Amino acid sequence: MGKTLLAVLILFSGAILLSGCTGGNFGGINEQRGSTYLPDECFPDGCSVSGVAVLPHAEVTLESESGKTWNTSTDCQGEWFISGLPAGAYLVQISRDRVALRQVIILPGHEPKQADAFTTCQVLIYTYVEELYPGTFLLEDVSGIENIPLELIEKVENALRDCRDPFADPEVLASVANLVEHTF
């Protein structure tokens, strides 16, 4: 009896030690951190972040390819954290009032990247392509959209600078439509 109890305790202790060493990431459950960047200050209630404008106290929604969602919010520095995510690709929407940023992350292995005008352009293009040609792109392919015209990035930055949602801005949407219709 004593040897059996000792063996169980050793195995249990080993399991605890192992989970501590690996971060307890059994079964593909992941943690993710993210941050935001705006070209201008829209919200005066953000903390000082070395003179960088952020999206503070915003709602963050992560949606998997299957449509399941997870929610969190940004802190005063525009940063967010969420745990318990299974491996896969996620569309991330960060929004407050009329301002929204978007990006795609892939877990595991996604290095935290700021949601900004560029990542928002990637998702704008993905969204428009999906409307025209459903199933053309997988969510995990969005980060591969690299050669975005500077003019489109500037239009998204202007919308954000004016504290507007690029996904509702007629000028941005017309540019995305023109790009996609002449590229795909």
Write down the pLDDT at residue 110.
66
Note the pTM of the prediction, 2 decimals. Answer: 0.79
What is the tens place of the pLDDT at every residue in 91-145?
999 999 889 999 999 888 767 678 999 999 999 999 999 999 999 889 989 989 9
User: Half-sphere exposure (CA, 13 Å, Cβ side) for 76?
Assistant: 6
What is the tens place of the pLDDT at every residue in 138-180?
998 998 999 999 999 999 999 999 999 999 999 999 999 999 9
Length of the chain counted residue by residue: 184
Q: Where are the domains of the chain?
A: 27-183
Whether the per-residue pLDDT at 23 is higher than 60: the answer is no
Write down the pLDDT at residue 1.
46
Work out the mean pLDDT of the chain and round it to a whole number.
81
Nearest to 73 by CA among 52, 95, 106, 50: 95
CATH superfamily, with its number, for domain 27-183: Immunoglobulins (2.60.40.10)
Q: Under a CB-based contact definition with an 8 Å cutoff, are residues 36 and 57 in contact?
A: no
Sheet holding 80-86, edge to edge: 80-86, 29-36, 114-115
